[in-house]
Amino acid sequence: MNAALIANLRAQCGGPRDGALLRFSLGNALLSEGDVAAAAEELRHAVRFDPRYSAAWKLLGKALLAVEDRAAAADAWRHGIEAARARGDKQAEKEMAVFLRRVEPKDAG
């Protein structure tokens, strides 16, 4: 079922319905299928379309963490926290702050 969904979403890319929501949906579907590199790329497209899309930043961070790019994941979550604050999305802000604390190196002293 997800393969059909992914194919349908990909068919819409570049068309009149292309945008942050489409790319977020495609990235989410790809991530659930385990294609994390492709998911990260689609989620990058989503945040280019709408840099204030905090859910896309959050999912992008998760995808980047899954490909073991901790620095990029942390950067995505920092952007996501800013986006969430701008929109007043306290829950997303809190979630990404927790994710960020888990990947940031601890100070040595």
Closest by CA to 43, choosing from 65, 97, 99, 71, is: 65
User: Is residue 109 included in any domain, yes or no?
Assistant: no
The single-letter code of the amino acid at 7 is A
Q: How many structural domains are present in the chain?
A: 1
- Residue 49: give its domain's CATH number: 1.25.40.10
User: Is residue 108 included in any domain, yes or no?
Assistant: no
How high is the pLDDT of residue 108? 42
pLDDT tens-place values along the chain, 109 residues long: 589 999 999 999 999 999 999 999 999 999 999 999 999 999 999 999 999 999 999 999 999 999 999 999 999 999 999 999 999 999 999 999 999 999 987 654 4
Strands (E), 25-67: none
How high is the pLDDT of residue 92? 96
pTM over 0.85: yes
Domain that residue 25 falls in: 2-103
